[in-house]
Structure 1
Amino acid sequence: MNKISTLLAQRLALGLLSLWFVSVIILLGVDFLPGDIATEILGQSATPEAVAAFRQALGLDQPLHIRYIHWLGAFVQGDFGSSLANGRQIAELLGSRLLNTLFLASVTAVIAVPLALGLGFLAAIYRNGFFDRMINSATLTFISFPEFFLAYLLILLFSVKAGWLPSLANVDPSQPLFERVYRVILPALTLTLVVTAHMMRMTRAAIINLLASPYIEMATLKGVPRWRVILTHALPNAWAPIINVIVLNLAYLIVGVVVVEVVFVYPGMGQLMVDSVKKRDMPVVQACSLVFAATYILLNLTADVLSVLTNPRLRHPK
């Protein structure tokens, strides 16, 4: 437990430092973009006097470092501020969008995690066989394609050609659960094709690495079926790397949905962030970026802790 407490303290300190770096990078990145929210809202025909007055009303006439210090002081106190585009509280904007992103990630995880574990288990059983080669080729193919390409390909096949699924993932909290699941099937399937390959290959590799162990050979010589050897002897000892890669892919599901949400016009955090970048709404972009970064850091911390808990050699080092 002392090792885990030390790990938690170190990771949390590094996480806070990483969040600060992210906030600075996003601030500079948005500031380097041409134009600002005044020119985006007032348009190209606005007079310089109108733009200057609008910028002064929003506080954009202050130096960048002064605005950042004011924002950071409010953020540390739990105040995300208000959107420059519509004046709404950012916490209110993030609430429903974050729930939608978590819902999409949850549906994807329910599909991808059992599928990846099952395929990895079967690939290890039929190692170097036709099934193993076919699964490896298919997963490498899907992982090589960009997400937007897979998304548009699935839209073409299942929405345009077959007409089975909607091409736009319009979800609303008032919709029934099954209706919401039906509308997010295509974006969830896109993310599944991307993340399944990592988890499946790690499961296969972790199991195969244990098959040469003496206790595995003894179980095989005793006549235990191969599937039972893998399921009852190899798999429990392979959980550490498998759990690690599962948690890391869950982190990707939360923070890597931006492209998929934009393609399917899904009302999640990624879509909100892209819309805010277009409007140069810097406080909203900052808040979305920090939520993504904090989620990724916490899930990476969870992966580290689970790796220690599931590996006796890490729990009790010599």
Structure 2
Amino acid sequence: MGTSLANLVAQRIAFGILLLFAVSVLIFAGTQILPGDVAASILGQSATPQALANLREELGLNDPAIVRYFHWLGGVLTGDLGTALSSRQDIASSLGPRLWNTLFLAFWAAVVAVPLAIILGLLAVRYRNGPVDKTISGLALASTSLPEFFIGYLLVFLFAVKLQWFPSLSTVYDGMPFLERMKAIALPASALTLVVLAHMMRMTRAAILNVMQSAYIETAELKGLKPLQIIRRHAFPNAVAPIINVVMLNLAFLIVGVVVVEVIFVYPGMGQYLVDHVSKRDVPVVQAVGLIFAAVYIGLNMIADIAAILVNPRLRHPK
């Protein structure tokens, strides 16, 4: 049993590493086939041919693509993400505080969204097909239908412009007091929460309802157990595996999908950093941020797979 479980976990980790390698190839290839000349975009239209040739040589743009890829990959594996073309700053040192800001924002959005989604999902199942279930499902559908930029601007209009409870720009800095930082991220965290809450709630409800159709649930009902007891003791524990997958997928979105929300609130995180350098055609920054986002997404999905295997013995024996 232990060896089988260890083999399954090792397979998931190996597959995750292989997938990340494939994604790194796609990221590098995607940035190389972009139209235009990187050297010309850096020096501007007034650059002389000699200056362009010198910069291409300095950046290694004259080397074959496969040589540049393995040079970049070797740097990534040793912790060297390269140098930003626009600012000449080390990308790894510039990304550090921005990655922390993004994780801080995603963490507090998850602290609110995950338990709230599970509670609302349980309530929807307990009172299914009733007014409570229809109200929760209706609000979830409305929230899912609205794009995050619309939710963000709506929150700014209501709570920053009209009520003036929170700032419209989420400016944070090193050494900022905790309560001030929490006030600054209140609106972007709320926008992220509303974006992922509906999906997690609907999937939690669906997972538990699927389990409720099992024979042992009917047996529990015949024994006279109350609906909440059945859900708490039997349905929810057996629906944990798919719920974990849904939660992890949405946690990955909270970190990877923050780009739009960070831009709306001018929050100094990874998404804002990426957008700033995409406009400058700063290829090394785009590659580094894209690879970090991919690593986070693949890593959280891998953790979800492993957690599902641990909590559901049936997944260890698929046959």
Do Structure 1 and Structure 2 share a fold, with TM-score over 0.5?
yes
Tell me what 2:172 maps to.
171
- 1:75 pairs with 2:76: yes
Tell me what 1:122 maps to.
123
Compute the displacement of 1:251 (Å).
Answer: 1.3
Compute the displacement of 1:42 (Å).
Answer: 3.0
Letter in 1 for 2:9: L
Question: Aligned partners of 2:77 and 2:212: how far apart in 1?
Answer: 51
- 1:217 pairs with 2:213: no
- 1:262 pairs with 2:263: yes
- 1:132 pairs with 2:140: no
Letter in 1 for 2:15: L
**Is the contact between residue 27 and residue 291 of structure 2 (CA under 8 Å) also seen in structure 1?**
no
Question: Aligned partners of 1:64 and 1:213: how far apart in 2?
Answer: 55
**Is the contact between residue 106 and residue 254 of structure 2 (CA under 8 Å) also seen in structure 1?**
yes
Q: Which runs of 5+ in 1 are unaligned?
A: none
**Is the contact between residue 42 and residue 85 of structure 2 (CA under 8 Å) also seen in structure 1?**
no
- 1:43 pairs with 2:39: no
Question: Aligned partners of 1:57 and 1:19: how far apart in 2?
Answer: 28
Q: Which runs of 5+ in 2 are unaligned?
A: none
**Is the contact between residue 36 and residue 280 of structure 1 (CA under 8 Å) also seen in structure 2?**
no
Aligned length: 318
Query: Helix, strand or coil: the match of 1:182?
Result: helix
**Is the contact between residue 12 and residue 306 of structure 2 (CA under 8 Å) also seen in structure 1?**
no
Question: Aligned partners of 1:247 and 1:144: how far apart in 2?
Answer: 21
Letter in 1 for 2:243: I
Query: Helix, strand or coil: the match of 2:170?
Result: coil
Normalising to structure 1: TM-score of the pair?
0.91
Tell me what 1:56 maps to.
57
Question: Aligned partners of 2:274 and 2:81: how far apart in 1?
Answer: 14
Question: Aligned partners of 1:236 and 1:15: how far apart in 2?
Answer: 27
RMSD: 2.1
Question: Aligned partners of 2:23 and 2:189: how far apart in 1?
Answer: 27
**Is the contact between residue 4 and residue 305 of structure 1 (CA under 8 Å) also seen in structure 2?**
no
Letter in 2 for 1:262: V
Question: Aligned partners of 2:318 and 2:57: how far apart in 1?
Answer: 60
**Is the contact between residue 37 and residue 85 of structure 1 (CA under 8 Å) also seen in structure 2?**
no
**Is the contact between residue 27 and residue 282 of structure 1 (CA under 8 Å) also seen in structure 2?**
no
**Is the contact between residue 79 and residue 92 of structure 2 (CA under 8 Å) also seen in structure 1?**
no
**Is the contact between residue 247 and residue 303 of structure 1 (CA under 8 Å) also seen in structure 2?**
yes
After TM superposition, the structure 1 stretch with the greater mean CA deviation from structure 2, 249-258 or 15-24, is 15-24
After superposition, the Cα gap between the structure-2 partners of 1:240 and 1:19, relative to the gap in structure 1 and judged at 3 Å, is closer
Compute the displacement of 1:247 (Å).
Answer: 1.3
After TM superposition, the structure 1 stretch with the greater mean CA deviation from structure 2, 85-94 or 15-24, is 15-24
After TM superposition, the structure 1 stretch with the greater mean CA deviation from structure 2, 268-277 or 34-43, is 34-43
Compute the displacement of 1:317 (Å).
Answer: 5.7
Tell me what 1:108 maps to.
109
Tell me what 2:229 maps to.
228
**Is the contact between residue 171 and residue 183 of structure 1 (CA under 8 Å) also seen in structure 2?**
yes
Tell me what 1:207 maps to.
208
Query: Helix, strand or coil: the match of 2:81?
Result: coil
Query: Identity rate of aligned residues, in percent?
Result: 58
Letter in 1 for 2:46: S
Letter in 2 for 1:39: A
Question: Aligned partners of 2:13 and 2:316: how far apart in 1?
Answer: 20
Question: Aligned partners of 1:278 and 1:64: how far apart in 2?
Answer: 23
Q: Deviations over 1:2-51 (max 9, x none)?
A: 33322333333332332233223222322333434433343333344433
Question: Aligned partners of 1:199 and 1:224: how far apart in 2?
Answer: 27
Q: Deviations over 1:214-247 (max 9, x none)?
A: 4433443444332222122321222111112111
After superposition, the Cα gap between the structure-2 partners of 1:59 and 1:215, relative to the gap in structure 1 and judged at 3 Å, is closer
Compute the displacement of 1:106 (Å).
Answer: 0.2
Compute the displacement of 1:122 (Å).
Answer: 0.5
Question: Aligned partners of 1:46 and 1:227: how far apart in 2?
Answer: 72
